[in-house]
Structure 1
Amino acid sequence: MKKTNQKWIASFALTVGLLAACGDDEQISKGAASDDYEITVGLSQSAGGTLVDIAHQEGYFEEEHISVNRVGFANSADGLNALQAGKIDVGLTFGTAGPLTFIANGSDFSIIGGHLEGGHPILTKKENAGQYTSLESYKGKKVGTIRIFTSDIVFRSALEDAGIDWKKDLEIVEFKTGSMLLEAVASGKVDVAVSANSFYAQAVDMGLEAVAWSNDLQEGHVCCRVVTRSELLADEDGEAYKRFLKALIRAERKKIEDPHSAVTAAKEYMKVDDKVINTIVNDSHSNYSSDPSREKVVQMWEQMKEIGYVENVDDIDVNEYVNIDLYEKALNELIKQYPDDAYYKDQLVRFNEQNI
């Protein structure tokens, strides 16, 4: 993160060799007027980041005097490795399980906000969709997933809660990228794919069908969190990141009041028709929320411990890695700016319920 004195530009890189490009200073766009801030945000190269894209489209970042450079990644692991290496400042669409796995392995990350809750499909070929009616249906099946996907945690936890041994009663096959996962289910190498909403457009295009959603297995679970390196928050008390969160809060409201804004914002990288885009970004299973939701983050951490996804972490207090102060400050500033607006006051009530 740095201050900049050049014209505001937001870029979205959809190139091969993203990590290398991300490390090349000449390929990083510069930002706004004097004393404005600039940060680089990593997100999904296949689906972008709905709230960030709306904030960019509506000019909220410019109004909050922050320049946001958007860089796409093929999977969460690559994005989080880039964050740890200092090649990006914020990870947006890398789930909850991903950042928590890195924290378990020693990364000093801070979760400062949210982006998505729920919304991840379990996919299969259309002709096989009728086979899957309950968790018992997955017994004896070959199930594809991606390790550190939040949907993977939700699926394994749901199986365990149902008394199904996911190590013995079915075969779980892990893939590196979402594209590889979808190709595996389309070709019959696996029976079903525990996927993510960021690959749903591709799945629809391939003729795959959702037989269940992560929300069906765990209602209201958190997914994509706004995550950064803790050290960056020491710079001017995290001012740049507070401004970033203010823009996301405003984008969340815009999406609620004008769902079509999410469609137009997504057209930058989803090369399908508006009807398909609307199905994805405004799907009823996906709840876009900028709130950090600390309680649900802690809940997922406990689930990861229970199923053995992370080990030897008893000395880690995950609460220390969830910073709720910046979001609260961002919300209070919006309340002060718009004192007659009930929306932001309602969000403060929600914040107090989910974080304190």
Structure 2
Amino acid sequence: MKKTIILLALVMTVILSLTGCSENTGNSTPTDAPASTVEALQSDELDKKELETSVIRWNYGTSGNVMLAIAEKMGYLEEEGLSIEVVPATANANAMALLATGKVDIVSNAGTSNPLQQIASGVDLTVFGGHMVDGCMPVIARKGTGWNGVQDFIGKKVAINPVYFAFTGAVMDLGYEDPLSAVEWVVYTNYNDALAAVVRGEVDYALQGTGNMYAVTQMDEVEIVTYHGKVMPNYSCCRLVAQTDFIKNNPNTVKALMRALIRAQQYYEANKKEVVALHAENMGVTEEYVAAFMLNENFVINPDPLKNSVIRAWGILDKTGFLNEKAKNIDILDHINIDLYKAALDEIIEEYGSKDPEFYERLQKFYEENNL
């Protein structure tokens, strides 16, 4: 083998920080904020430029946020009058607790299922944007296993937490009403353990995190058979989430943030190799490590809210029993805001659209396909 499991464990211990969709949260209630409602966000309030707050407390877990890093580096946030206060959290649960208790304003790396489960339990959160659409999370198996599609999971041992709705949803799409029984889902505490289980032959397949890409590609014992995003396109990976009151009380601040992130998205797509170096420096890892996922076609970032994907995820989680019973009385549409992103997109296209018309045309089309 090129790399021993011992070496892999060392590498993964140092850089597991970039695992896909590591979950974290944040929230706050700014002072002197104007009262408004979600409906008011479609009114003249959107046209006001004065920020309600200029400092945003943000949790992006241990894997960072590429668009945010670019927006800071290129001065887009400064131009909008914004600054970011990073609030760390060591685990997904800690991040969600930060958000629920108002100790951070925005969380960007908490996945989709965690925020939706919080909403289902009665926490008033709103999805208003996105981070990763597809986190370049590989599904691995022992070398030579091959792949014919999700049907290969049926009756097999699969090291994937079934709360990952893309996989249970794909199994249901095959006609299985109970995906939890059709597959033997084996849950490990981390991706390293799942990887080791594949190598030992204890499971047939395993999902790996974004940050495992480099290590997995250095191993002779395993192969990548597919990716999370191949199983369910635009599965929504990581959403931008805040307490609903933060969105209501800070529409101009949120819209300004989205403008900065949209510009960062354009810069990212035009300068990926440069961004690899930037993100590697920010995260304290090698460029080879970052390039393993960032230059892969299965790593897709976009600040779009992906309303349709969030609704799909809510439905799958509900059908598979991963939502609180309170979810039956909750309309998930009340917890998705696409208005601020769309307003920001329109403004950016008007101001910068001529500089990269092809990019902004794609972004507009992407919005229409995933939100309308």
What TM-score do you get using the length of structure 1 for normalisation?
0.78
SS in 2 for 1:53: helix
Alignment check: 8 A CA contact 1:121 1:211 kept:
no
RCO comparison, higher one (Cα < 8 Å, 6+): 2
Aligned residues: 321
Distance in 2 between residues matched to 1:280 and 1:185, nearest whole Å: 21
Alignment of 1:210-229 (within 5 A): 210-229=224-243
| 2:129 corresponds to 1:113 | yes
Distance in 2 between residues matched to 1:339 and 1:271, nearest whole Å: 34
Partner of 2:167: 155
Partner of 1:37: 54
Structure whose residues are more often strand by fraction = 1
The one-letter code of the counterpart of 1:161 is: D
Alignment check: 8 A CA contact 2:59 2:106 kept:
yes
The one-letter code of the counterpart of 2:333 is: N
Alignment check: 8 A CA contact 1:124 1:186 kept:
no
The one-letter code of the counterpart of 2:352 is: Y
Alignment check: 8 A CA contact 1:166 1:172 kept:
no
Distance in 2 between residues matched to 1:156 and 1:109, nearest whole Å: 24
Distance in 2 between residues matched to 1:187 and 1:89, nearest whole Å: 43
Alignment counterpart, residue 153 of structure 2, candidates 135, 138, 157 = 138
The one-letter code of the counterpart of 1:114 is: G
The one-letter code of the counterpart of 1:38 is: V
Distance in 2 between residues matched to 1:35 and 1:119, nearest whole Å: 32
Q: Deviations over 1:154-189 (max 9, x none)?
A: 011112222455433432122444455445545655
| Distance of aligned partners of 1:104 and 1:198 in 2 relative to their CA distance in 1, 3 Å threshold | farther
| 2:93 corresponds to 1:77 | yes
Alignment check: 8 A CA contact 1:147 1:175 kept:
no
Deviation at 1:140, TM superposition (A): 4.0
Q: Deviations over 1:263-298 (max 9, x none)?
A: 022213555542332221132012211111212211
Distance in 1 between residues matched to 2:68 and 2:187, nearest whole Å: 29
Deviation at 1:321, TM superposition (A): 0.4
SS in 2 for 1:338: helix
| 2:308 corresponds to 1:295 | yes
- Structure 2 unmatched ranges of 5 or more: 1-16, 18-22, 28-50
Distance in 2 between residues matched to 1:142 and 1:131, nearest whole Å: 15
SS in 2 for 1:130: coil
Moved more, 56-65 or 199-208: 199-208
Partner of 1:62: 78
| Distance of aligned partners of 1:331 and 1:107 in 2 relative to their CA distance in 1, 3 Å threshold | same
The CA RMSD measured in Å over matched residues stands at: 3.1
Alignment of 1:245-284 (within 5 A): 245-268=258-281, 270=283, 272-284=285-297
Alignment check: 8 A CA contact 1:75 1:176 kept:
no
Distance in 1 between residues matched to 2:335 and 2:211, nearest whole Å: 25
Alignment check: 8 A CA contact 2:276 2:291 kept:
yes
Distance in 2 between residues matched to 1:183 and 1:65, nearest whole Å: 47
Deviation at 1:334, TM superposition (A): 1.9
The one-letter code of the counterpart of 2:230 is: D
Alignment check: 8 A CA contact 1:51 1:252 kept:
yes
The one-letter code of the counterpart of 2:205 is: V
Alignment check: 8 A CA contact 1:118 1:285 kept:
yes
Alignment check: 8 A CA contact 2:191 2:207 kept:
no
What TM-score do you get using the length of structure 2 for normalisation?
0.75
Q: Deviations over 1:74-118 (max 9, x none)?
A: 543332222112222111111122211111111111111111212
Deviation at 1:232, TM superposition (A): 1.2
Alignment check: 8 A CA contact 1:36 1:65 kept:
no
Alignment check: 8 A CA contact 1:50 1:281 kept:
no
* Percent of aligned pairs with the same amino acid: 26
Partner of 1:31: none
SS in 1 for 2:84: strand
